C-alpha cells in the first residue's frame, strides 16, 4: 500500500510528496472497490450477532469486526500500528514482536482516529451502492434457477471473500483520511501565524477555509472519474479495450459511486481530520512557545 517512507530521510512534510501519496492511494481504493463489487452486498456480515459461530467464540461484534480484529491482531504483531500513518479499527491489540522503529516525530501528538466514522459510512452507504450490480446479477441468475425469496438476492454467501476485501478497502480509506494530519501539519508550519488565532479562539469555519483548496479538489474529482472509468474497462486477449462490455450484465464498478465516495465522504472526512488536528496543535504549549512559533512564521 502506498505510503511515505518515514525512514528514508526525505522531507515528510513536503505538500507535493504528501499529495502524491494521496494520488496513489486513489488507485488502491478504486481497485479494492472493484474487487468488492464482484460480490453481493451480504448485509449479514455487518450485523452484530448475525453469526452464532462468533458468539460461540465469545466475540460479540459483527463478522466484519471479527475480521478486522483478527487481521489487525496479526498486523499489530508486525508493528503496523506503530507507524505514524497506520490506524487500527479495533482496540486491545497485541504488542509487536519486533523492537520499535524510531520514526521521526513529524506530527504533533494527538489522539485523533476517524475510523469509527469510516466504518459507519463504508458499511451503510458505500457497500450497498457498489455491490448493487453484483446483487442484481445474483438475483437474475437465482430467478433463472427457480423461485427464491427477495432477501436472498443480496446474499451470495461469500462472507469470507467479501470481508477480506472490506478490510483492505477500510485500511486504504483510513490511511488516506489520516494523511489529513500530515497535510495539516505541512500547512501549519508553512504559515503558523495564519492559524494560531483560530486555534486559540477555536473557529472551525475559519480553519476549514484556510485548509480548503477548491482547485485541488476539482482536479482530484475529475482525475478520479477518469481513473475509475478506465479501470472499469475490460480488455480483450490482445489488449484491445472492449468498450461497453459488461460483466454479468453490469460493468465492473459504479464509476459515479466512486466519485461520490470521495466527494461526499472521503474529502469531507479528510478535512474534518485536518481541522481537528489543527484545533489541538497548540495543546500543552506555553504562551512564549506560541509567540515564538507565530513570529517564526512571520519571518520565514
Ligand atoms: O491537498 C490538500 O491540500 C488537502 O488538504 C487534501 C484535500 C483532499 O482531501 O484531497 C482536502 C482539502 C483540500 O480542499 C484539497 C484536497
Gap from CA of 268 to ligand 1 centroid (Å): 9
The CA distance from 25 to 48, in Å, is 30
CB 17 near ligand 1, within 6 Å: no
Q: What is the pLDDT of residues 209-267, one digit of tens each?
A: 999 999 999 999 999 999 999 998 888 888 887 765 444 445 688 899 999 999 999 99
Gap from CA of 212 to ligand 1 centroid (Å): 6
CB 44 near ligand 1, within 6 Å: no
Q: What is the pLDDT of residues 50-90, one digit of tens each?
A: 999 999 999 999 999 999 999 999 999 999 999 999 999 99
**In the chain, what are the domains?**
15-235+248-297 (1.10.590.10)
Give nearest CA residue, ligand 1 atom 3.
213
CB 69 near ligand 1, within 6 Å: no
Q: Which residue has the higher pLDDT, 28 or 238?
A: 28
What is residue 45's predicted lDDT score, i.e. its pLDDT?
97
Q: What is the pLDDT of residues 128-172, one digit of tens each?
A: 999 988 788 878 887 887 766 666 679 999 999 999 999 999 999
CB 217 near ligand 1, within 6 Å: yes
Mean pLDDT of the residues in the chain: 91
Grid cell digits, residue 180:
489529513
**Burial letters for 11-44: b for 16+ Cβ neighbours within 10 Å, e otherwise?**
ebbeeeebbebbeebbebbbbbbbbbbbbbbbbb
What is residue 3's predicted lDDT score, i.e. its pLDDT?
75
Reduced to 3 states (helix: H, G, I; strand: E, B; else coil), residue 138 is helix
Reduced to 3 states (helix: H, G, I; strand: E, B; else coil), residue 110 is coil
Question: Of all residues in the chain, what percent carry a pLDDT higher than 90?
Answer: 77
CB 269 near ligand 1, within 6 Å: no
What is residue 275's predicted lDDT score, i.e. its pLDDT?
98
Gap from CA of 127 to ligand 1 centroid (Å): 24
What's the mean pLDDT in 187-201?
Answer: 97
What is residue 298's predicted lDDT score, i.e. its pLDDT?
59
Which ligand 1 atom minimizes the distance to the CA of 214? 14
Burial class, 283, CB count within 10 angstroms (exposed 0-12 / middle 13-18 / buried 19+): exposed
Q: Which of 19, 211, 276 to mutate to test the pocket of ligand 1 (most atoms within 8 A of CB)?
A: 211
Grid cell digits, residue 210:
484556510
CB 212 near ligand 1, within 6 Å: yes
CB 270 near ligand 1, within 6 Å: yes
Amino acid at each position: 500500500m502506498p505510503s511515505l517512507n518515514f525512514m528514508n530521510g526525505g522531507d515528510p512534510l513536503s505538500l507535493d510528496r504528501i499529495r502524491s501519496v494521496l494520488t496513489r492511494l486513489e488507485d488502491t481504493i478504486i481497485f479494492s472497490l472493484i474487487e468488492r463489487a464482484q460480490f453481493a452486498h451480504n448485509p449479514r456480515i455487518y450485523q452484530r450477532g448475525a453469526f452464532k459461530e462468533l458468539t460461540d467464540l465469545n466475540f460479540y461484534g459483527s463478522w466484519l469486526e471479527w475480521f478486522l480484529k483478527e487481521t489487525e491482531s496479526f498486523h499489530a504483531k508486525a508493528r503496523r500500528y506503530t507507524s505514524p500513518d497506520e490506524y487500527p479499527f479495533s482496540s486491545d491489540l497485541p504488542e509487536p514482536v519486533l523492537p520499535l522503529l524510531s520514526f521521526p516525530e513529524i506530527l504533533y501528538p494527538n489522539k485523533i482516529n476517524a475510523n469509527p466514522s469510516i466504518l459507519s459510512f463504508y458499511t451503510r452507504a458505500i457497500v450497498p451502492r457498489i455491490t448493487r450490480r453484483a446483487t442484481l446479477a445474483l438475483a437474475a441468475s437465482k430467478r433463472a434457477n427457480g423461485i427464491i425469496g427477495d432477501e436472498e438476492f443480496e446474499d451470495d454467501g461469500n462472507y469470507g471473500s467479501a470481508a477480506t476485501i472490506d478490510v483492505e478497502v477500510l485500511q486504504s480509506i483510513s490511511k488516506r483520511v489520516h494523511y489529513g494530519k500530515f497535510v495539516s501539519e505541512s500547512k501549519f508550519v508553512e504559515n503558523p501565524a495564519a492559524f494560531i488565532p483560530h486555534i486559540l479562539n477555536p473557529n472551525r469555519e475559519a480553519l476549514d477555509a484556510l485548509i480548503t483548496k477548491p482547485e485541488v479538489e476539482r482536479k482530484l474529482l475529475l482525475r478520479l472519474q477518469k481513473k475509475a472509468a478506465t479501470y472499469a474497462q475490460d480488455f480483450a486477449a490482445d489488449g484491445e479495450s472492449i468498450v461497453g462490455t459488461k460483466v454479468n450484465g453490469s460493468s465492473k464498478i459504479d464509476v459515479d459511486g466512486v466519485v461520490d465516495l470521495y466527494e461526499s465522504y472521503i474529502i469531507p472526512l479528510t478535512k474534518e481530520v485536518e481541522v481537528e488536528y489543527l484545533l489541538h496543535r497548540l495543546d500543552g504549549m506555553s504562551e512564549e512557545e506560541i509567540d515564538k512559533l507565530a513570529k517564526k512564521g512571520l519571518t520565514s
